[in-house]
């Protein structure tokens, strides 16, 4: 089952227009006192910044300089436990930094805060209000699933029903996000909404590209806008029906393997890594498909995004998971030549390539992969 959770704007990059400016964030959250602390996390000049401030009678202040509007996250440590202990359950909220005096107020929790004092944060409030319906539905659905007994969570019929409900709410959410983008082409918030529509896996080029082209030149010219443009170009060149971009990488014995050398068969181009839990969980499904169809004109080319100097972990994972097909990697992590060519920003991802070298399908999981191969290899 696909992940039910949705974390709005979390993955969006810093949005900058190239103009330096000083910002001030004045916070007032209830009556908290030391050892409670507030943290402000954002990206400045390509580097992660994690600022901290003491809290006195609920008040705290952050000051700094950013190169144009920048998305940040305020994290509240109510008991002074430290960020490591807080983890994903931390009380946090998004705030946009720009040259302004920004105010963040709430009675008890920063996640319930009202952010005022700047145009961008007003636009963000408008955006969040516009999508509140499906976001609430998805949040409730996730809570319902988490509260279900483990046996029920493992029941396929229940999982399928939950997935169908999620798909409905997600479609409603994407439609509202698209409406916001169309109505606000010169807003940085529209760029963030477009990132949400694009998702973490393969981008639906036909759906996202028209929305991107509808944005103003100013927004498309930001660092984040340029990044989305590059992702769309990669999506265009890896869409179903186009020739799969060719590349050459070394196999486990340091011998070069070229993707196009496998033409004449259906090839599953499988992006994974030894450190990727979801990839390792999916590997048994790929093994089943490979063993079932390898004598019928099908093979797999595994591309690992393992890290520099970690070849031993890559080889150990291949052996442990029983991956007997050709494996290649340049051990460059997310900077893998093949990963960049295919616009990979999350794994696992795969592309099914037909005997002529054209992409026939993308991101086939579990039984979907076997069903598609059965259809094609009658």
Which tens digits make up the pLDDT trace of 283-307?
999 999 999 999 999 999 999 999 9
269 and 369 in one domain?
yes
Q: Is residue 242 part of a domain?
A: no
Whether 142 and 193 share a structural domain: yes
Residue 269 has pLDDT above 70, yes or no: yes
Nearest to 325 by CA among 278, 255, 267, 364: 267
Are residues 340 and 261 both part of a single domain? Answer: yes
Let me know if residue 124 belongs to a domain.
no
- Domain-embedded: residue 46: yes
Rounded Cα distance, 203 and 197, in Å: 9
The predicted structure's pLDDT at residue 44: 84
Find how far residue 11's CA is from the centre of its chain: 6
In a domain, 186, yes or no: yes
Domain of residue 167, residue span: 132-237
Q: At residue 138, does pLDDT exceed 50?
A: yes
User: For position 6, what pLDDT does the model report?
Assistant: 36
Residue 333 counted as domain residue: yes
> Are 228 and 252 contained in the same domain?
no
Same domain? 256 vs 370: yes
Query: Mean pLDDT across the chain, nearest whole number?
Result: 90
Q: What gap in Å lies between CA 128 and CA 75, rounded to an integer?
A: 19
Contact (Cβ atoms closer than 8 angstroms) between residue 321 and residue 291:
no
CATH number at residue 309: 3.40.30.10
Do 301 and 225 share a structural domain? no
The answer to whether residue 13 is domain-embedded is no
- In eight-state DSSP terms, residue 302 is E
Residue 158: what pLDDT? 92
Does residue 313 share a domain with residue 232? no
Residue where a domain stops, chosen among 237, 260, 276: 237
Q: Is residue 295 part of a domain?
A: yes
CA–CA separation, 278 vs 286, rounded Å?
A: 13
Domain boundary among 237, 266, 291: 237
Query: Which CATH number characterizes residue 26's domain?
Result: 2.60.40.10
pLDDT at 7 over 50: no
Shared domain for 228 and 253, answered yes or no, is no
The last residue of a domain, from among 216, 237, 258: 237
pLDDT of residue 86: 80
64 shares a domain with 169: no
pLDDT value of residue 374: 94
Global model pTM greater than 0.85: no
* Distance, CA of 205 to CA of 230 (rounded, Å): 12
Same domain, 278 and 328: yes
* Whole-number pLDDT of residue 201: 64
pLDDT digits (tens, 9 = 90+) for 77-89: 998 888 888 877 7
Question: What pLDDT shows up at residue 68?
Answer: 80
Q: Are residues 226 and 262 in the same domain?
A: no
Question: What percentage of the chain carries pLDDT values higher than 90?
Answer: 74
**Are residues 140 and 213 part of one domain?**
yes
Averaged over 345-363, what is the pLDDT? Answer: 94
Q: How many domains does the chain have?
A: 3
Determine what percent of the chain is predicted with pLDDT higher than 70.
Answer: 94
283 close to 323: Cβ distance less than 8 angstroms: yes
Whole-angstrom distance, CA of residue 15 vs CA of residue 124: 13
Residue 300 forms part of a structural domain: yes
Collect all residues with Cβ–Cβ distance below 8 Å to 60 and sequence separation of at least 6. 26, 27, 29, 38, 53, 54
């Amino acid at each position: 089952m696909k992940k039910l959770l949705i974390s709005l704007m979390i993955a969006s990059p810093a949005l900058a227009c190239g103009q330096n400016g000083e910002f001030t964030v004045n916070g007032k959250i209830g009556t908290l006192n030391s050892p409670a602390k507030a943290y402000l996390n954002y990206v400045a000049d390509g580097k992660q910044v994690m600022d901290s401030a003491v809290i006195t009678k609920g008040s705290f202040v952050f000051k700094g300089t950013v190169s144009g509007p920048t998305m940040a996250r305020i994290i509240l440590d109510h008991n002074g436990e430290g960020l490591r202990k807080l983890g994903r359950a931390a009380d946090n909220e998004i705030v946009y930094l720009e040259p302004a005096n920004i105010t963040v107020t709430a009675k008890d929790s920063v996640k319930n805060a009202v952010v005022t004092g700047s145009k961008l944060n007003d636009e963000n409030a408008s955006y969040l209000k516009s999508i509140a319906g499906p976001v609430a539905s998805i949040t409730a659905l996730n809570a319902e699933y988490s509260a279900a007994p483990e046996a029920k969570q493992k029941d396929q019929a229940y999982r399928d029903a939950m997935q169908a409900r999620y798909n409905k709410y997600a479609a409603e959410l994407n439609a509202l996000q698209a409406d916001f983008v169309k109505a606000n082409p010169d807003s940085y918030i529209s760029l963030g909404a477009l990132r949400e529509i694009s998702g973490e896996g393969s981008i639906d080029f036909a759906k996202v590209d028209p929305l991107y082209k509808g944005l103003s030149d100013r927004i498309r010219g930001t660092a984040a806008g340029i990044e989305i443009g590059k992702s769309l170009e990669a999506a265009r060149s890896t869409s179903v029906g186009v020739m799969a971009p060719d590349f050459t990488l070394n196999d486990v014995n340091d011998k070069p393997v070229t993707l196009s050398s496998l033409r004449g068969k259906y090839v599953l181009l499988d992006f994974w890594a030894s450190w990727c839990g979801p990839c390792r969980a999916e590997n048994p499904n790929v093994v089943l498909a490979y063993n079932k169809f390898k004598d019928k004109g099908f093979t797999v080319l595994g591309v690992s995004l393992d890290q520099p100097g970690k070849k031993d972990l890559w080889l150990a994972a291949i052996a442990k998971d029983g991956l007997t097909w050709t494996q290649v990697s340049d051990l460059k992590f997310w900077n893998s030549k093949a990963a960049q060519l295919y616009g990979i920003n999350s794994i696992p991802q795969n592309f099914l390539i037909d005997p002529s070298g054209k992409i026939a399908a993308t991101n086939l999981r579990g039984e979907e992969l076997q069903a598609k191969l059965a259809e094609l290899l009658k």
